[in-house]
Every structure is written in structure tokens, then in C-alpha cells.
């Protein structure tokens, strides 16, 4: 009996470990790093597309009069830019252990690349990035619906519903066809 439960515990421990590995524990490198390679027109200017969306100003938005009103209605006191309940969706990697936030990472960059594509620490190297399958196995996310729904849901005080197909068209930033 004893031996069996020790074995069971070992199995549980292993399972917990591989879950952590699958979830990542990859480091967040921050917007500027991604922009280095995803800025040029020739490659589709993903950075340029992103900065034209409200995702880029989602943190700034928390300083607006509307945000103060939203906070009041939601029963959140104090500055929305300091409130965990707002930061969770208006920034990237909120609540992640600070050891996983790289030097170039800034919460003020709002809903940045890694909020949707996953923490880049282990896929941003050029040789990895050029290999789609390897990038994905090292944390890159390109299948998106689930990711959007983490923030676009009824826990948003201003929620007006979310149509994935319509919203997707507004924010997508394809690479030019080769
Ligand atoms: C050193 C340059 C470099 C950096 C830094 C970089 N990328 Fe890339 N990325 C590339 C290249 C090259 C490709 C492959 C383009 C191709 O297939 O022609 C790519 C492809 C991608 C793709 C498309 C994958 C696919 O196959 O559909 C995504 C998404 C992406 N990068 C996101 C990011 C994000 C997010 C960051 C920052 C965390 C980042 N990249 C940083 C060079 C880079
Ligand atoms: C569950 C994620 C989530 C949380 C929590 C959240 N927001 Fe948002 N917020 C969003 C999304 C997504 C939008 C875009 C509108 C929507 O919900 O479809 C948004 C939009 C807004 C807007 C723009 C209003 C508009 O009509 O477009 C303001 C202002 C705002 N949020 C403030 C706040 C404040 C203040 C808090 C904290 C009290 C907060 N949000 C908490 C996700 C969230
Ligand atoms: C980390 C949270 C988060 C994730 C993940 C996220 N969003 Fe958002 N999104 C927001 C917030 C917050 C706003 C509102 C910002 C504001 O009004 O200041 C927003 C706004 C938008 C808008 C309005 C943009 C505009 O410029 O009019 C669209 C469209 C949108 N999101 C689509 C998507 C799609 C599609 C996905 C998934 C591919 C996604 N979002 C993932 C938090 C998120
Ligand atoms: C709100 C979520 C969201 C954010 C933020 C975001 N992306 Fe994307 N990205 C997407 C979606 C959705 C796609 C389309 C995926 C698909 O159809 O395969 C995409 C596709 C891409 C592609 C591949 C395009 C192709 O044709 O294969 C690259 C490269 C990319 N993103 C880079 C970036 C970079 C760099 C940033 C930050 C400047 C960024 N993304 C921010 C959602 C996001």
C-alpha cells in the first residue's frame, strides 16, 4: 500500500511538472524585440498594424475618464491603472512571476504581441522563428479563438458581445504571400 502511494505521488509530480512545461514558463521578451523583425513593409508590417489598434493603447485607456467611470460602476476603488481587476485584461502577462519578465518588457505596452502569440523567450531566435513547428513547440501560439476569449468575455465591464470572425478581421496582420 505504502509503496503504491509513493509511486502514485511520483506519477502526480511528473504530471504536474510536464503540465508546467507545456504551459510554458517561457520568458516574456516584450514588444520591442518582436518589432525588430516584424516592422518592415516587405514582411507585412505586423507592428504597424498592431499599433493602429486599441490593443496598443489598452493600458493608457485605463487613465481615461471613461475608465474611472467604469471602475466606479464595477465597484473598483482607486486608480484603474493600479487595479488588478483592470490590469488583468488591459496589459500582458499580468500576475506572471516577475522572474519571467524580460528587461524590455513593459506593462504600459498594453495588449502586446505576446498577449496573443505567447511568451517569446524560447522562440524569438531567428533559426527557431523560421521553423513554424519548432516555434510552436517552444511557445508560439497562432490558433487564436481561445486566447481572445480570455479577455473578450462577460467579465469585461464594457462587454458588448464578441464575434470572433468580425473581430479577427479588424486586428489580423498577414505576411505577404510568397
Ligand atoms: C530575429 C527576428 C525575429 C524576431 C525577434 C521575432 N520574429 Fe517572428 N518571425 C521571424 C521570421 C523570419 C518568421 C518567418 C517568416 C516566414 O515564414 O517567412 C517569423 C514568423 C512569425 C510568426 C508567424 C508564424 C507562422 O508560421 O504563422 C509569428 C506569429 C511571429 N513570428 C511572431 C513573433 C512574435 C510575437 C515575436 C516577439 C515575441 C517575434 N515573432 C519575434 C522573425 C522574428
Ligand atoms: C475580462 C477582461 C477585462 C476586464 C477584467 C476589464 N476590461 Fe476593460 N475592456 C476589455 C475589453 C475586451 C474591452 C473592449 C470592449 C468589450 O468588452 O468588448 C474593454 C474596454 C474597456 C474600455 C473602453 C470602453 C468601450 O466602450 O470601449 C474601458 C474604459 C475599460 N475597458 C476600462 C476597464 C476598467 C476600468 C476595468 C477595471 C474595473 C476593466 N476595463 C476591466 C476587457 C476587460
Ligand atoms: C489580454 C487581453 C486581450 C486579448 C488576449 C485580446 N484582446 Fe482584444 N481587446 C482587449 C482590450 C482591453 C480591448 C479594449 C481596449 C480599449 O478600448 O482601450 C480590446 C479591443 C479589441 C478590439 C477593438 C479594437 C479596435 O481598434 O477597434 C478588437 C477588434 C479586438 N480586441 C479583437 C481581439 C481578437 C480577435 C483577439 C484574439 C485574436 C483579441 N482581441 C485578444 C483585450 C484583449
Ligand atoms: C490581439 C491578438 C494579437 C496581437 C496582440 C498580435 N497578434 Fe499577430 N496574429 C494574430 C492573429 C489572429 C493572427 C492570424 C493567425 C492566423 O490566421 O494564422 C496573427 C498573425 C501574425 C503573424 C503571421 C501572419 C501570417 O500571415 O502568417 C505574425 C508574423 C504576427 N502575427 C506577428 C505579430 C507581432 C509582431 C505582434 C506585435 C506587434 C502581434 N502579432 C500582435 C493576433 C495577434
Residues 90/71, Cβ–Cβ less than 8 Å: no
Mean pLDDT of the chain: 90
In this prediction, residue 8 carries a pLDDT of: 56
Q: Does ligand 2 lie within 6 Å of residue 74's CB atom?
A: yes
Ligand found nearest the CA of 146: 3
Q: Which residues line ligand 1 (CB under 6 A)?
A: 29, 33-34, 36-38, 113-114, 117, 120, 124, 126, 129-130, 132, 142
Rounded CA-CA distance 62/7 in Å is 50
Residue 18 has pLDDT above 50, yes or no: no
85 lines ligand 3 (CB under 6 A): no
Q: Could you tell me which of 173, 9, 74, 178 has the C-alpha nearest to residue 90?
A: 74
Ligand nearest to the CA of 83: 2
Given a contact cutoff of 8 angstroms between Cβ atoms, the answer to whether 80 and 70 are in contact is: yes
Cα-to-centroid distance, 83 and ligand 4 (Å): 28
CA distance 135 to 138: 5
What are the tens digits of pLDDT across the range 72-118? 999 999 999 999 999 999 999 999 999 999 999 999 999 999 999 99
Nearest-Å Rg of the Cα atoms of the chain is 19
Handedness of CA 146, 105, 50, 125 (dihedral sign): negative
Amino acid at each position: 500500500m505504502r509503496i503504491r502511494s509513493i509511486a502514485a505521488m511520483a506519477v502526480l509530480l511528473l504530471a504536474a511538472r510536464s503540465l508546467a512545461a507545456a504551459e510554458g514558463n517561457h520568458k516574456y521578451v516584450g514588444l520591442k524585440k518582436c518589432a525588430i523583425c516584424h516592422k518592415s513593409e516587405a514582411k507585412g508590417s505586423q507592428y504597424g498594424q498592431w499599433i493602429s489598434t486599441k490593443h496598443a493603447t489598452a493600458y493608457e485607456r485605463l487613465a481615461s475618464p471613461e475608465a474611472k467611470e467604469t471602475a466606479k460602476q464595477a465597484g473598483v476603488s482607486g486608480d484603474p491603472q493600479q487595479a488588478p481587476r483592470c490590469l488583468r485584461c488591459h496589459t500582458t502577462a499580468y500576475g506572471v512571476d516577475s522572474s519571467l519578465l524580460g528587461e524590455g518588457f513593459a506593462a504600459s505596452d498594453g495588449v502586446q504581441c505576446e498577449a496573443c502569440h505567447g511568451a517569446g523567450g524560447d522562440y524569438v531566435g531567428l533559426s527557431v522563428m523560421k521553423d513554424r513547428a519548432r516555434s510552436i513547440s517552444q511557445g508560439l501560439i497562432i490558433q487564436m479563438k481561445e486566447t481572445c476569449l480570455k479577455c473578450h468575455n462577460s467579465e469585461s465591464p464594457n462587454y458588448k458581445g464578441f464575434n470572433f470572425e468580425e473581430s479577427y478581421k479588424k486586428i489580423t496582420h498577414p505576411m505577404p504571400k510568397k
